[in-house]
Chains A and B, each alone.
Chain A
Amino acid sequence: MKKLLIPYTFTLLNWAAIAGLFHFLLGHRDLWLHYREMTRRFGDSLHEGHR
């Protein structure tokens, strides 16, 4: 399973450049907030998992 994820991860992270260009051209500046929101959801689930 882990081995299978390597091509997927590589491809996904590579294609992120195209999404990045899209956000840049549309002038989306608040990607930090977007990223933080995603991180928080993940962090909260971790936190709950540790209780």
Chain B
Amino acid sequence: MTAEAVFWASALFVFYVYCGYPLLLAVLQRMAGRRVAKAYWEPSVSVIIAAHNERGTIERKLRNCLDLDYPKDRLQIIVSLDGCTDGTEEIADSYRWQGIEVVRSARHRGKAAAINRAVLTATGEILFFTDARQRLEPRAVRELVANFSDGTVGAATGELILQAPDARESSDGVGLYWRYEKKLRAMESRIHSTVGATGAIYAVRRRLYKPIPADMILDDVAVPMRLVLGGWRSVFDPAARAYDRISDSLDLEYGRKVRTLAGNYQLLARMPELALPWRNPVWLQFVSHKLGRLAAPYFLAALLVSNMFLARGLYMIPFICQAVWYAAAALGALAVRRTAAAPVAGEVVPGGKHI
């Protein structure tokens, strides 16, 4: 009886987090969707790039920002150097004559501190945050800023497109996961607000920005969610795009995900009001999307273990499905390890043989 209760509670939870919630959003957006009154205008914008040891990417990023389709006299570009020791400073300084502003900290204090420091020198009506690594589409600023012509919008985030090596949008495991994530964000945004933003491309009204704690892991969730708690909307606009190359290494994506999820725990500890339905206008979205993901692995484990105790009769069907799923995952893990271990063409393998 206990195993049955655990099985059904876990199955319902996992189903809700991954299928039920998206279906609920699809219904809610049809019933209560609110369009953003997007209109093109040209307020002053401060583009802020926080950088720590970005020698390999900073020059490309600065050129990318200088090529943005936005009036130069209304665009301030600030690079906030966070204790760089690899020559990033020299590269950034060499672009000062082109109008790039450089602020710096001698010590590495973290991304949130770097952002706070840059905002102190920002003069734009809109703060546009972007990371050093990703490439912005020329119209990215124009498209994102257009959302702020709607007076209810306090923050806006664009779409990060993960590209496969052939430059098309990735359709492998991580690519699909990210596409699913973006669908959720788009539906959440139509209802009220998306829960968080993408660090590669998001913007807020400067007058609403308040410094975030220097050790905050997820600035791109903390900054917009503060505004949402204050009654503003935080919207997702897929017309404003940034591009990143998808990693061949799942370890890297895993590291990125660990950071995000650790950040969600921190966010909950720092902003507990997010979990209060009478304080958070997107409480259902926050609980279903963010907290649901944090709890999902425990429920998945409970689902598997309880099903082991019930593996007879009709309960054999979900048990076989789970067994096949985890066996496929294990094979996938093996395949990834083998691919990573295999020498690539042109590489010298131990023993000196050139392949």
Binding site for B on A (CB under 8 A): 1-2, 4-21, 23-24, 28-36, 38-40, 42-44, 46-47
Contacts and interface: CB of A to CB of B under 8 A. Distances in A.
B215 A35 contact: no
Interface of B: 52-54, 56-57, 108, 110-111, 133, 171-174, 176-177, 215, 217, 245, 247-266, 269, 293-298, 300, 325-326, 328-333, 335-336
A19 B217 CA distance: 15
Given A17-B293, A32-B110, A39 B133 contact: yes
Nearest 6 A/B pairs, CB to CB? A9-B173, A8-B332, A20-B261, A20-B262, A24-B265, A16-B257
Contacts of B250: 5, 8-9, 12
Contacts of A23: 258-259, 262
Contact of A31 (B52, B172, B258, B336): B258
Given A5-B332, A9-B174, A12-B257, 16 more contacts: A2-B173, A6-B173, A6-B328, A7-B325, A8-B333, A10-B329, A13-B177, A17-B293, A17-B295, A20-B261, A20-B264, A24-B266, A32-B259, A34-B259, A40-B56, A43-B133
Nearest to A35: B259
Given A13-B254, A42-B252, A30 B110 contact: yes
A30 B112 CA distance: 11
A36 B52 contact: yes
Contacts of B171: 2
B245 to A, nearest CB: 6
8 contacts: A4-B328, A8-B173, A12-B329, A14-B293, A28-B262, A31-B259, A34-B255, A38-B252
Contacts of B56: 40, 43-44, 47
